[in-house]
Amino acid sequence: MLELNNDNWAFYADEENSVYYIDFESLSVNLSDISVRRKDGDVVFKEDVFELPVNTIYEIDFKQFGTGQYDIELRSFTGVIRRSVSIR
């Protein structure tokens, strides 16, 4: 799968509350799904988002996953955007 340039996607972190936001409107692609993986590769969250409006602000609450290193993967039909996050 093609690795998409992630310089232009809007990713906002509320690190105090372990909540991350993704602004779909700032993306240059339509997403098919979002997943969160631990660094060991274990998928802890996955949701299909293709049906959501293009102006969605998507919220991921990491409190349910616990502390650690994670990768957020935004998948489109042409590639994937990854962002690493650290939850303390």
**pLDDT tens by residue, 3-58:** 445 544 568 889 899 999 999 988 888 999 999 999 999 999 999 999 999 999 99
Domain coordinates of the chain in residue numbers?
8-87
Residue bearing the bigger pLDDT, 6 or 61: 61
CATH of the domain spanning 8-87: 2.60.40.3080
In whole angstroms, give the CA distance from residue 53 to residue 4.
21
Question: Any idea what the Cα angle at residue 28 is, between residues 59 and 81, rounded to 5°?
Answer: 60
pLDDT of res. 51? 97
